[in-house]
Amino acid sequence: MKLRRISLLLFLCSLLYAGEHDNVVKFLRDMMEHSKFENYDFLNAHCSGDLLKKLEADYDYECEDGPCYAVWKFREGASDVLKWKVMEVKPIGDGWYLYTFQENDVVSSRRVHVRVENDSVILLDLKP
């Protein structure tokens, strides 16, 4: 009887974990498909302080009304994007997700580290 309870508890936990992954995948796909990462209010709501500092440090241009963020780090960085498509978003372990996208004729990917906090996705780090 005790083994059945433990098995049921593990099964329910795996469903919750899978549901969280699904929510994060949907969030990242929506963020990329609608270029929400270009909106500073969105970044301030969904990025950790450390990631914002990293994006601010990577900003290479003059910034009149700071802070300014290197939002192009979320994609390949072409200035004229004629074709944009999110191809895949998947969990790769330990809170890291991989999103693959096509920007013009270049296929690329980024890894993003996330945490879910009060049903809100917080981006912790971003790597090529």
**How far from 115 is each of 18, 23, 27, CA to CA, in Å?**
14, 11, 12
Per-residue pLDDT at 119: 87
pTM, two decimals, is: 0.82
pLDDT score at 10: 40
DSSP class of residue 47 equals: B
pLDDT of 67 reads 93
Range of the domain at 123: 2-127
User: Tens place of pLDDT for every residue, the chain, 128 residues?
Assistant: 555 554 444 444 443 444 678 999 999 999 999 999 999 999 999 999 999 999 999 998 888 888 999 999 998 876 677 778 899 999 999 999 999 999 888 899 999 999 999 989 999 999 99
According to the model, what pLDDT value does residue 4 have? 57
For residue 77, the model assigns a pLDDT of 72
pLDDT of residue 83: 79
**Residue for token digits 């969280």?**
20
Q: What is the CATH number of the domain that holds 82?
A: 3.10.450
* Amino acid (1-letter code) at residue 126: L
Amino acid in position 62:
E
Q: What's the number of domains the chain is made of?
A: 1
Written as one letter, the residue type at 24 is V
Token pair of 61, please?
């241009």
Backbone angles phi, psi at 77, to 5 degrees: 105, 10
Strands (E), the chain: 84-93, 96-103, 106-117, 120-127
